Structure 1
Amino acid sequence: TEEEVDATFDCLREEPDDFLSGNDTFKPPQDATIPKSVNWRTKGLVSPNLMDCSTRYGNHGCKGGNVRKAFTYVIENKGIDSDKFYPYKAKEGKCRYSVKGKAGYCRKYRVLPQGDEKALKKAVATVGPVSVSIYSKLPSFRFYKRGIYHDPKCTLKPSHAVLVVGYGTKRGKDYWLVKNSWGTGWGKNGYVRMARNKKN
């Protein structure tokens, strides 16, 4: 049923003033050169590690989670495993984090102005992958396979957290390179090119 699909795939739980407490707004370096394209895919950071291991911070595995609480887990855990070491299994499981699979860490996070694609581009270019919230309940997104994704029916109400790992332009169309958490069987090996500069 639609409710079961929502419970499995669309489990973002936003909270009022979610990111504002204790974190600063992102300010890009003044003299930074912003390249025309960026691709951070080789780092392989993963979300199943977050889904399984951030429950002690108030997240609810497959029943929903909050990005701030996921960041708190990574900061206090001093790391996150790679997707090769901690693969997606389409179900909630016991926390299996191991420092042997550590692919990255986070000391603090910054907040981007909501809907500011220029700020997002600068952050991806100068810092690295950026966690964002999107609306993922449309069939066109759930069954995406290839191309640059854009659906005019998309709303600004977030239902799912994903990772922007790059950006570029293909045949004159700007896009964000986004890593989803639904495994490599979804989209193009787990990724989607989402339209950029469409006020989304």
Structure 2
Amino acid sequence: MQTISVLAVLALVFSCSLAYDVALNQPWKLWKELNNQRYSDAEEHVRRGIWEGNLKKVQQHNFEADLGVHSYWLGMNKYAAMTTDEFVKVMNGYNATMKGQRTQDRHTFTFNPLADLPDTVDWRDKGYVTPVKDQGQCGSCWAFSSTGALEGQHFKASGTLVSLSEQNLVDCSGAQGNMGCNGGLMDQAFEYIKENAGIDTEDSYPYEAVDDQCRFTKANIGATDTGFTDITSKDESALQQAVATVGPISVAIDASHGSFQLYKKGVYNEPFCSQTRLDHGVLAVGYGTDSGKDYWLVKNSWGEGWGDQGYIKMTRNKRNQCGIATAASYPLV
């Protein structure tokens, strides 16, 4: 989206005869091949410099993680040749500054402090979760979070797991306040689905990673909702109960850090994460404890090559880290 302008600035930074490590020539070539990355000569110069800088960060972090300093590890994924600022502008599309256009479809989750909840939940094991998807270079994370939550609730009600169309939401929910690849909100997506009396299947309305004309077809509806429920903001106990008793839940997080961009495995713990500066929509599909550390099991929409096969374990019960419980909701079916 904003790659060209960013590259112009970066070219100035890396134009001063930057000497690359020749020992990394083959790893760089292999990384490009594995991640299907092709660059012009000018862009190659810039990307190589960013990639080497990120490689040093990953190696240092993982050395410390192996020593027990960190609870998670980083990896040289397909985003390793992007700066963090560039990455956030391109990939993160949850727009917390938006205001919902309507409120009549909103309900509030009823928290029961006496509820006996399981220690571990993973809705993938119960058939509620479709395979990891890839939003591409389009700020449509909010659409993937929305479809993920509805896919789970539709399965709960019908016993059939149907992959739903993110492109339908990208193209058609502007009246509810969403802006396609330029951002949106999950609740506004749920509003659209109710008012539209449904959302098409992924097969009938495949993803394009660009804004396009609305092509919703009533005959291809895969699911619908009757509104949505918001979970008490910043209450991780309420979110835990919702995940345990309802199913996968749409959540918004602060994903603006390089540590998130390059996350590979382990329990992600980013002390500089914000509870309120939310910029990315994802799906909480479970929770548990790993080596004594509580975590949320979160499905992302950056493909299986990111994180732990497309998933991340995010710190749980640590003052709502990254704002995971700040704006959580799910559709009613």
Same fold (TM over 0.5): yes
Hey, what does 1:12 align to over in structure 2?
Answer: 94
| Bigger radius of gyration among the two | 2
* SS of residue matched to 2:263: coil
**CA–CA separation in structure 2 for the residues paired with 1:90 and 1:166:** 27
Hey, what does 2:286 align to over in structure 1?
Answer: 166
Superposed CA offset, 1:81-138 (max 9, x none) = 6778877665455557676583x54322122222110000001111111111110110
Q: Is 1:113 the counterpart of 2:232 in the alignment?
A: yes
State the shift of 1:65 in Å: 0.9
Letter in 2 for 1:6: V
Q: Is 1:73 the counterpart of 2:158 in the alignment?
A: no
Q: Is 1:124 the counterpart of 2:243 in the alignment?
A: yes
Q: Normalised by the size of structure 1, how large is the TM-score?
A: 0.81
Q: Is 1:58 the counterpart of 2:141 in the alignment?
A: no
**CA–CA separation in structure 2 for the residues paired with 1:86 and 1:137:** 30
Cα distance 1:39–1:52, how it changes in 2: closer, same or farther (>3 A)? farther
State the shift of 1:151 in Å: 0.8
Unaligned runs of 5+ in 2: 1-5, 7-83, 131-142, 145-165, 322-333
Letter in 2 for 1:24: H
**CA–CA separation in structure 2 for the residues paired with 1:183 and 1:97:** 25
Letter in 2 for 1:160: H
More helix by share: 2
Q: Is the 8 A contact 2:109 2:231 kept in 1?
A: yes
State the shift of 1:189 in Å: 2.2
State the shift of 1:57 in Å: 2.7
Q: Is the 8 A contact 1:89 1:183 kept in 2?
A: no
* Larger CA deviation: 178-187 vs 164-173: 178-187
Cα distance 1:187–1:15, how it changes in 2: closer, same or farther (>3 A)? same
Unaligned runs of 5+ in 1: none
Hey, what does 1:43 align to over in structure 2?
Answer: 128
Q: Aligned pairs, how many? A: 199
Hey, what does 1:153 align to over in structure 2?
Answer: 272
Identical aligned residues as a percent: 42
Cα distance 1:88–1:150, how it changes in 2: closer, same or farther (>3 A)? farther
**CA–CA separation in structure 1 for the residues paired with 2:171 and 2:129:** 17
The CA RMSD over aligned residues, in Å, is 3.1
Q: Normalised by the size of structure 2, how large is the TM-score?
A: 0.51
